[in-house]
Each structure stands twice: as structure tokens, then as C-alpha cells.
Structure 1
Amino acid sequence: MEAVYVLSQFHLYLPYIDFWMFLFLRFYLEERIHRRVQRMQNPFLISLFSSIRTKNQLCFAVEYAEGGTLESQLSRNALSLERSIFYSACIVQGVKFLHDNRIVHRDLNPRNILLDGQGYAKVAGFGLCKEEIGYMNRFQSHCGTLHYMAPEMLTDDSCARSVDWWAVGVIIYQMLVGKLPFTGQDTEVIKNKILNESPVFPPDLADNAKLIILKLLCKEAKYRLGSREEDAQEVMESPLFRGLDWGALMEKEIQPPFIPQSVEPKIKKEEPQNVRDIALKASEKKKKSVRFCLMEPQNAGECSSVAAIDDFDLQLQLRAGSFVKTYRAEHRATGRIVVIKALQKLPETDEEEHRR
């Protein structure tokens, strides 16, 4: 499914530079959240490997999730109850960490859930996060991916961190049923269903699954599962997770029910595909020093000066947009496979016009 942000309906009316600024702010926020996550090394959130600055690009590298997105798994059919419970538990732990650190994700959807090589699910996509939101805090929010947006995000009502639990409910429904709970031919129909209709369940769906979905998809935010101060603990105590050893899950001692195949073909080292000239080529042919942050728990705030983007072997372009491009790459010094996300800076002429 294409991720359609509510804000995107305004993009056609924004000047070119303002659209770039919108992307820049999202890019900057995503990197900042990655830094906060990296300090705690949570196993259910995609972690930051490094930050890079060049003359023409803003870049950061994050861990590579070999299994691709949960969205790609759902494109085939519904998942088994065992897999759905396992992925749901991983997502709950990722959301718990964010909420414990006063961060609301606001865009949880299967495209932002990645599977690592072991089969564990990890939360990604921090570009729409809202910071400094605790139990008592409220905020206005009209952003996210429509099918996963809570009712209060579609109205003028204030929102709380429980908007994330609504999205988790939609994802659980989608995993178990194989389709979205609220669909329609256009935006208004979908909004109306989110605001006014209840999800329809197949007759063979397990009662514990129905129960948690109904509680997470409660339209009254204050009664929604996870809306109280206990937050994730409420969700973790749901009968759906009865018998799950949460401690073992946190230590990654549970055997995942499904081991995904790598979503990308292997790249032979003797025949590397160099895509640097496509989008990440430095403005000068000689190597330049850039500020490069190799994030470690003990010195997460420190940066050291190392070689330029050439420290990475860019193997494969994963996604390309007008301003943002994503690559799979190998860090030459460590051999670690990462994903590099690069935002092209505005040409100087555009920056000058924006200042005027």
C-alpha cells in the first residue's frame, strides 16, 4: 500500500522550497530519534549506525533489515496466529520503548515495521514522531497514513499517545484477517468508516484476537487499551499474549516462527555495483573529510572526523525519490551491511531565493 500522508494533499500548493523544507524537517527528526534510540540499544527499533554530512547531502546509515517490510509479508495473504502474535509482541515492545521515552510514533503501519534476518520485527520510520509526550500530555495531530490513523487524528480533538495503540490494533487486524478494517473508494469514505463503523471479523478468528483488536480500536481514546498511565503494560497483559515470556523476548531468546529470506539479491564483492555517481557523489573528485558519528552507547554524543562517503560501498539502490534516495551499503572498515538514507541539499540558487 502506498503511504499517503494527510499533509501530502497540500504539497501541490506549496512552493518547491517549502516542500523541501518539509522533507528536511522530517529527515532531521528521524535522525534525532535514531540517536535517542541508539543510546538505549532497544532490540525492537531500527538502530542508527552513523551520521554523515557532505557538501551536497545529509545522510544517515541505519541497520539493514534483511527480511524487508511487514507490508511485503502481508501482500501475499493473512499470517498465522502464531506469527501475528509474535510480530505484535515485538511491535508492542518497540512502542513501549518510545512511549517510555516520551516519544509518540504517529505513523505505525506495516511499511514501517521491518523484519531482521532472524525473523524479529522492528519499528522504523521515525519521521513523523512527536517528542516530549507523556501520559498527561495532549497534542494536535493530523498526520500519518490514513488507514492507520485514530479517529481523533481526523477531527479537531486533541490526541494522546494512545494514537499509536490504535495503529497497532489496525496492524494486528490486518495480519490476522489479511485486509484492512476500514477501506473505501476515496478518502472521505475511509474517514467516515474510521469514525463511525466497527471492524468486521471472520467467524473463525480467535476470541482473544477479537478482544484485543476491539479494545485497541476503541473510538473513545480515553477508553482505548493502552490509554491509561500503565500504557504498554495494559496491552502486554491482554489474553492474546498469555504464556508469552516477555523477558525472553527482550533478550531475543524466543525462536521466531518464521525466518524471512533476504529481500535483495546477493551482491558479489568482486563485481560491486557502484551507485555513488548517481546521487551521493561528492562535489569534488578528491576525498573530503566529513563529520561522521559512529554511535556507541558509551559515547553516543561524540563525533569523529573520518573519510567521506567513500567509507561505504554502495551496493544497491533500494528507493529513489525527487529529494531522498535510499541505498544498501557495506561499511568497509567493519563489513557491516547498512541502509543509507540521503537527502539532497537544495542548490545554492534555490537557497538564495528562499532567503529573499
Structure 2
Amino acid sequence: MYNKAPIVRHKSTRIYVGKVPIGDGAPITVQSMTNTKTTDVQATVNQIYALEQAGVDIVRISVPSMDAAEAFKLIKKQVNVPLVADIHYDYRIALQVAKYGVDCLRINPGNIGNYERIKQVVHCARDHNIPIRIGINAGSLEKDIQKKYIEPKPEALFESAMRHIDYLNRLNFDQFKVSVKASDVLLTVKSYRLLAQAIDQPIHLGITESGSLRTGSVKSAIGLGILLTEGIGDTLRISLAADPVEEVKVGYDILKALRIRSRGINFIACPTCSRQEFDVIGTINELEKRLEDIMTPMNISIIGCVVNGLGEAMVATLGIAGGNKKSSFYEDGIRQKYRIDNQDIISQLETRIRAKAKILNNSNLIKIQKIQE
């Protein structure tokens, strides 16, 4: 394996969303948000189940009305993953879902109301041992800040965040995390840099309203990638106009690419050229679909020829280097005596990858048992 240069994380305090730790060196969590009507309880529960299957750590649900709050009560009873209630405008909804066991309250103080209303929400959160996320968005800054800065600027998002952090500090409430999101990548990055220099609370990362699956993934990878390599961020959400399950996948892909957190298979594949000895693109696309259920961290190298195939295979868990009719197969960097028939490459690779995952899982279980003993 390549040498891993550790990323020095921004120092932060720790809070818990349900039983999930955030901050103070805890694994960076991957969040998503349902896009069903919250009042459609079954559809929302089904989507949460799908997100859990994809590996989500925390799920946020929009609760725009009292009817949605009542639906939230029913949803909460049917799922295990921690739930964050997204509250805008009506502070009374926050008070209601707190009674129903919400694991975290996400509020945008710019539209939640005056200081007295914020005070009520904070007191309620303290009484129920619920953390808060202060969510600052470039598109919903307070009117006086909008007037002062004319347009969204890093200093504007930072000023809004510090104003509401001050509210919570004055109320002696420290169980909170903060986000300063914008749809513009560079604006977001600069805003988070200012925030990280000023606070010790956990930081929630995201590029808000980033766009479609393709463009949103690119924006998020660039913006969050910059911040994560600078050690900024304790939890993240990829905001896509797409199936929320894709948000989870992209989130893990970003963490995996930075070697921060691994879950599932990391496929290494060449872009292909006329040297390829088998259909690399078709192979990688089919294997990704077939092997979505494997959560064991593995590096799988699929290269269509020997130019780079041998080198990549030697540093992968399993690797294949394309050859005429049959391709060389490597396991843990060692070339195996047998070769894989190019005509049946997908099914053969799937079989061998699943077998390797089983071996690695059993090995990890033995290690855990020894630690517990």
C-alpha cells in the first residue's frame, strides 16, 4: 500500500447525535436528508431504510409543520439511525419534536425568530439533552447582514455564525455544531476557514444546493476535499438534486479518496485505450452494481493492459492486468499462478472479490474477539 500521510484534524469538542459521536477525533460522519413528504410516513421510513443500507450515519428530516411533527413521531419509532429535525420559521415545531425523541435540532437562526424564541429552543434542547446545529446559509442571512454586505461574502456568513454562537454561549449551551454553507465552492471554503479559526465546536461540512448528481458531486468533492485536507470538518452532507442514497455514496467516496474513512470497495480502473485486452468500462460498471452490498474496505484494481496494470495490482487487495485472452490476477500484491479468462471476467472477479471480503471479515472478527478477551 502507498504510505499514508495523516491529516491533522481541527481541534474540536465532542457532541453526540443519538449514540453517534461527532468531533474530538471521532470518525467523520456521513449524513443525508430525506426528500419524501414527511407526512408520508411509510415513504419516509422506506427511504431511511435505504439510506441505512447505504451506510448513512445520521439522517435529517424536514419538519415544516405541526402535521409533519406528528408524522416525525411515528417515523422515529420505526428507525434506528439518529434523526435530525430541520426546523425553519416556527420555533414551536422544535419544541414539539423534542418531546418526540429527536436526536438533534437543525435551526437557521436567521429565520427562526427573535432571541426569546431561540432561548426557548435552547432551553428545550438542554432539558431533553439534544444538540443543536446552527445552520448558516448564504441564501438566508439576516436582513441586517444582507444590507451590510450587499451580497454573500465569507465575512457575512462568518458574522452570522458568530452572532448565533454568541446567543448559545450566553445561554451556557455548548452542545452544538455549526455549518456555513453556500452554493459557491470558493465562498464556502473561505467561510469555513474563518469559522475553524474562531471556534472549537464540531463543524458540519457541505456545499448547499450544489446541483445535479454530476455537477453537485464535483463541487462537493472540490470544496469538501480542500477543507478536509486542511483538517476542517467533523461531519458532512453532500447536497444533491438526486436520490439521497447517492449523497451517501459520494460522501464515502470523498472520504475514501482522502484515506480518511473507508467503507466498501475502492475501484481503481483505467480510462481505457486501444491497448485494453477486455472491456474495462463494462466490467467496472457491472461490478460496481453487483458488489454494492460489500462494505469491507478493499482496493480492487482493474486495468486493461500491462502498462500500468502490474504496478496497480501489486498495491491493491485484488488486481487484474489485461492480457491476450487471459489476464494476470494478483492477490495482496502477489501474482497468482492461474490467469482469468477475459470472456468470463466479470463473474470470475465477482466470485473472487466476494471470497476475499469473507476472509477479511472473518479476520477482523478474530481481531475484535482477541481485543475483547
TM-score (norm. length: structure 2): 0.26
**Relative contact order (C-alpha < 8 Å, sep 6+): which is higher?**
1
Greater CA radius of gyration, 1 or 2?
2
Q: Which has the higher helix share?
A: 2
TM-score (norm. length: structure 1): 0.26
